[in-house]
Amino acid sequence: MDKQYCIEIADTVIFESNEQDWFFRAGAQRSLWGILIFQEDRVVFSNPALQDIVGLTEDEILRINPFELVHPVDRDLVRQRAEGRLKGLSPPDDYEIRILTADGKTKWVRLLATSIIYQRKPAVS
């Protein structure tokens, strides 16, 4: 198994002002753990640590479906759990999955997931 990476996901956060968004972004940009937030199968935020883990730029990540980063073997499981989270269910939020990097390698990561409100809309991070 390759070096293990950890993707950190914050607890439920509600951003109602530019100031709160600024504080979140300032902390997330400096985090050593990868952070990704998506809404409706579209990435709306990724931090530099996540970009390093997957080997893609922020612009590249913002243009893809977040499930494209998940290894095909784990993709349905991750999608089902994300959908459950958005429906108010409580699927496991801490588990290991395989992801795909830009150069085609598979990496194991620890996924810590939660549902959040991001920019006044439901999201999964």
- Structure confidence by residue, pLDDT tens digits, 41-68: 899 989 999 999 999 999 999 999 999 9
Give the pLDDT of residue 30: 76
Task: Round to whole Å and give the CA distance between 41 and 88.
Answer: 17
Chain mean position to CA 52 = 13
Q: What is the pTM of this model?
A: 0.78
Q: Where are the domains of the chain?
A: 5-124
Give the pLDDT of residue 55: 97
96 pLDDT more than 90:
yes
Give the pLDDT of residue 29: 77
Task: Round to whole Å and give the CA distance between 74 and 30.
Answer: 28
Give the pLDDT of residue 23: 58
71 pLDDT more than 70:
yes
For residue 31, give both structure tokens.
Answer: 């985090």
In the numeric block, the tokens 């269910």 are attached to 89
Task: Round to whole Å and give the CA distance between 109 and 97.
Answer: 6
CATH, domain range 5-124: 3.30.450.20
